[in-house]
Chain A
Amino acid sequence: MSQQENKIDEYRRRFLGKGAALVGAAALAPGVILHTIAHAKPADEAVTSKVRWGFLIDANKCAENCDACVRACDEENGITKFGRPQTDAQWIRKITLRNKQTNHSITLPMMCQHCEHPPCVDVCPTGASFKRADGIVLVDKHICIGCRYCMMACPYKARSFIHETVTGQAPDVPRGKGTVESCTLCVHRVDRGETPACAEACAKTQEGPAILFGDLNDPNSKIAKRLASEPSSAVRADFRLDPGVRYQGI
């Protein structure tokens, strides 16, 4: 074989190798790639009200002794505890409901419900408590004066006040003494096209994904389709706050 033919063979081999890699990627990860394209927002673009982020939580799939979501939240957001459950920060908690007549009990995760009409925003005297265009309710800690009106106003007990000096914060999640905080729907992850830490951890548990995250405004999203086809309810729907977190099985 001449040297030139050898070279051609080498080119062919390289081309085929690259092709095989591409085919492999397309076969293995279409979900991953499509998912990222569907959600990732360019970093220099502001959030819009075209999307509204929310959760659909199936209490039937939530195991009583499982706290994977709580642990994942603490880890992701750098929430350190001082061993004082009365005052320690808590963004997500597991609660158990029991029917006194039948003794049937269910357990579910409870966190900021990211209301369409959030009472915490209504009462905030400084404008620190606000709702982002995409429906995520946040505290701007630069403006928060720690008055805790929002904690009083929230019917879901979703917010915590930070009583003690915090150290070792996660770079994406600034937190500090003298301000109020609550579930941010992992806004730093959502902004780069990922799902919140609790939903991700829940999907990896044996009982299966009890927490589904998605865009309530997009009729083609998994969450909107399930909300349209299956029964669901809001906690204390009588307040008419239109929470972004919906439950099944309660």
Chain B
Amino acid sequence: MFSKPIQFIAQRPTLFAVMIIAACVVSVSALAAVPKPEIPKGKGDRCVEDTGFMRKNHMELLLHQRDETVHRGIRTKKHSLKECIDCHAVNDNQGQPVSHEDSKHFCVVCHEYASVKIDCFECHASKPRVKKAGQRL
């Protein structure tokens, strides 16, 4: 049943090697063709931590801060989700901040690329609140 392909490899080893290499090149170029997400820039000069550190550890920081805030009332701004949302708000064509339902949203851009489903925004606001006169946020 498999004798024909084996016969082919045995008779033309060079041609087979060339075919294998060609297949590899095609698949690598296909990988490269997947566009890297375009990460929107936040406000201000720099993030509260290094970008590399944040990429790897933002979820740990948020988890830690969440327990500190809910149970102990510690509301420092540095690792607060609300501050992340404020700083990384992305505006739509009308100049209004987009919600997590929009693929342009800062968090969503990467999580869609990495295929990671987060449920933060089922409860938390995904965009800054529109400020009213005299209101502190």
A binding-site residues for B, Cβ under 8 Å: 41, 43-47, 130, 132-134, 138, 140-142, 165-166, 168-172, 174-177, 179, 187-188, 191-192, 194
Tell me if B36 counts as interface (CB < 8 A to partner A). no
CB pair A171 B85 closer than 8 Å: yes
CB pair A192 B70 closer than 8 Å: no
Q: With A140-B71, A142-B70, A176-B122 as known contacts, state yes or no: A170 contacts B77, CB within 8 Å.
A: no
Residues of the A chain whose Cβ atoms lie less than 8 Å from the Cβ of B123: 141, 166, 169, 174-176, 179
CB pair B82 A172 closer than 8 Å: yes
CB pair A174 B74 closer than 8 Å: no
Q: With A169-B125, A175-B123 as known contacts, state yes or no: A132 contacts B74, CB within 8 Å.
A: no
Interface of B (DSSP majority class): loop
28 example contacts (A-B, Cβ-Cβ < 8 A) are as follows A43-B75, A43-B76, A44-B76, A46-B68, A46-B72, A47-B73, A130-B71, A132-B73, A133-B73, A134-B73, A140-B70, A140-B71, A141-B123, A142-B66, A166-B122, A166-B123, A170-B125, A171-B85, A171-B124, A171-B128, A171-B129, A171-B137, A175-B123, A176-B123, A179-B123, A187-B73, A188-B75, A192-B136
CB pair A174 B73 closer than 8 Å: no
Report the contact-size class of chain B (Cβ under 8 Å from the partner): 20 to 34
B106 CB, nearest partner CB in chain A, Å = 15
Residues of the A chain whose Cβ atoms lie less than 8 Å from the Cβ of B125: 168-171, 174
Residues of the A chain whose Cβ atoms lie less than 8 Å from the Cβ of B124: 169, 171, 174
Residues of the A chain whose Cβ atoms lie less than 8 Å from the Cβ of B68: 46
Question: Which of A141, A175, A191 makes the CB contact (< 8 A) with B73?
Answer: A191
Question: Taking each of A43, A133, A134, which has the highest tally of chain B beta carbons within 10 Å of its own beta carbon?
Answer: A43
CB pair B129 A192 closer than 8 Å: no
For B68, give the chain A residue with the smallest CB separation: A46
A108 CA to B5 CA, complexed, in Å: 87
B83 CB, nearest partner CB in chain A, Å = 10
A46 CA to B124 CA, complexed, in Å: 22
For B120, give the chain A residue with the smallest CB separation: A174
Q: Which 4 A-B pairs have the closest CB atoms?
A: A176-B123, A47-B73, A46-B72, A174-B123
CB pair A177 B122 closer than 8 Å: yes
Q: With A175-B123, A176-B122 as known contacts, state yes or no: A170 contacts B75, CB within 8 Å.
A: no
A72 CB, nearest partner CB in chain B, Å = 13
For A171, give the chain B residue with the smallest CB separation: B125
Q: Mark B14-26, 1 if CB is under 8 A from A, else 0.
A: 0000000000000
For A167, give the chain B residue with the smallest CB separation: B99
CB pair B74 A45 closer than 8 Å: yes
CB pair B71 A41 closer than 8 Å: no
Residues of the B chain whose Cβ atoms lie less than 8 Å from the Cβ of A176: 122-123
